Each structure stands twice: as structure tokens, then as C-alpha cells.
Amino acid sequence: MITVFAIPKAFEGHAGVIQRNAVASWTRLAPEVEVILIGDEPGVAETAGSAGVRHLQSVSKSEYGTPLLSCAFALARAASTRRLLAYVNADIVLLPDFVSAARRIRFESFLCLGRRWNVDLFEELELDEAYEQRVRALVARSGELALPDAIDYFVFPRTGPLSELPPFVVGRPGWDNWMIYRARSLGLPVVDATRVVTAVHQNHDYAHVPERSGYRWYGPEASANFALIEGLERFQTRHATHVLTRIGPFPALTPRRLVSRVRSRHAVDGSVERAARLVERLARRKELRR
């Protein structure tokens, strides 16, 4: 059903712990989910082998040696035979509700995403029969729901246009906002699955970012990503056209979501945006008649 693919950092120190937790959680979703790890960082091949998942080593990189998402997405598309692709950041623990959510989306083409829950986790999970309950208890006890622009997974059909990206650098800002804009610009439904998918982000530092400056993952690679989206609005989960529930997707019509879509009325085309543009034109005509 789904190919989950990721581009891990080196499996060293705390990063190694949380990435092994993530990969192990994904393997628990088999057979509905297959896993592909992409890259040649230390420990990636070994982790893929021990977890029994696929490994694609050769990936194009930035001048600083960081993998490019454009290449990784193309590799995953070529290697997968599943109907859906899911890019997931390598520090995200997924639970069975991820697969259940994907099953409820009946659109032929779409982009599914959601906000994450931030938790502190410093040791490897024991993946026994009770691990899901322990993870959910941790989220309930100390988890923090991230802001609407913190997006760590995308699900979309393998044969659609969403696997074609500009040369964004992985792990730097901007590209996830572009993914939402891209789907909206193509007229595709964007489904916010935050209500029904518990995506658990294991907190970490950003010492791996080359020439880091300013906020967390900012630096020359962040600037390169921003240059690729210059002039575009920063789309986030509030710009979704649908909200996924336990029944299925419903139109996203809460006031906050409608305001976000009205503000982006000149960037993309949808029913809300067209209505907002019409109201704007009528208001201008009325003003000119005064």
C-alpha cells in the first residue's frame, strides 16, 4: 500500500537512537508499509540491513554534502511498486493510525500531511506488544503539538506529479511549505490528518547543520531553499482543503482555515479562493462608483 522513505543522518549518538526508534516503528507497520532508507551516511546501510528494509545509497548532494530531496524523491518513485509514497523525516515515530488514515483517503490524487507531537526521548524503544500504549502515554503526558508549519510527513500517489521537486536540501526550511503550494497550485486536495495521525517527533539538536546561523536549521542551505521559493507564500497545514477524520476527509471550513485560504487567494485556485477574489473585485467596483 505505502512506501515510506527517509534520508537519515549518520546513526551516531542521540541521532542514532531516535532514528533507530523511527525505523523500527515503521517496520512494525508491515506488510502495508515497506521502508526505504536513502543515503550513504555512517550507519545507514547497517541499520537498513539489521531492520530488513531496502537501502538506496547513491543520492545527489548540495555543495555542503547534504542530500537533495529532488533526487531522493525520484529514487523512491523508481524503486517503489506501491500505490502511495510517504516521505517521513527520520526522527518521526509512526503508529498504526498512519496506515488507517491513508486508507480513508479516496481521492485519486492528493497530498496528505499533518502536524507532529514533540517529545523528549533519549533511549531506544522496546518494541513489544505494549510499545504503542507507552508512546501514546508519553505524548499525553509531555507531548507538545507543533505549530502548523512544522510538517514532517507527506503522503501522495507514486504516479502523480508530487514526486517531482526542485533541488531542495533535506532538513532545511521552505521545501515543506512548497509541497503544499505545489499541490494546491495543481488543484489537488490537501488533506490535514493531524486529528487522526499521531506523528511523534523526537526532539534533537541542530549541530549537524553546516555553517549554522540564526534560528536552528538556518544557514547557507536554508538560504538556498528559500531562494527556490522566493515570492511564494509560506503554505502550512491551515491551507489544507480537507481535514481527515475517523470517517473520512471533510472540507476544511473552520474560521482560521478559511482566513488562511482567503489570504492566499492570489497564489492558488480553489472554491474558497475564487469566492474571495470575487468579493474583492465587487468591493473594488463599489469603491470606484463612490
Q: What is the pLDDT of residue 245?
A: 97
Q: Are residues 59 and 194 in the same domain?
A: yes
| Cα 245 to Cα 194: distance, rounded to the nearest angstrom | 9
- Per the DSSP assignment, residues forming a β-bridge with 199 are 116
Establish if 35 belongs to a structural domain. Answer: yes
Question: What is the reported pTM?
Answer: 0.93
Q: What are phi and psi of 184, to 5 degrees?
A: -65, -40
In the chain, how many domains are there? 2
Q: Are residues 95 and 228 in the same domain?
A: yes
Q: What is the pLDDT of residue 208?
A: 63
CATH number at residue 42: 3.90.550.10
Q: What is the pLDDT of residue 165?
A: 96
In Å, how far are 30, 76, 149, 284 from 120, measured between CA atoms? 26, 30, 20, 52
The list of the chain residues with pLDDT below 70 reads 205-218, 290
Angle, to 10 degrees, between the axis of helix 255-263 and the axis of helix 271-289?
70
Q: Are residues 223 and 271 in the same domain?
A: no
Q: Are residues 141 and 272 in the same domain?
A: no
The SS3 of residue 151 is strand
Establish if 248 belongs to a structural domain. Answer: no
> Which residue range forms the structural domain that includes residue 283?
253-289
Q: Check: CB of residue 198 under 8 Å from CB of residue 97.
A: yes
| Count of CB atoms situated within 10 Å of the CB of 283 | 10
Q: Are residues 33 and 171 in the same domain?
A: yes
Q: Are residues 232 and 104 in the same domain?
A: yes
Q: Are residues 106 and 217 in the same domain?
A: yes
H helical segments located in the chain: 13-27, 44-51, 69-79, 97-104, 131-142, 175-185, 220-228, 255-263, 271-289
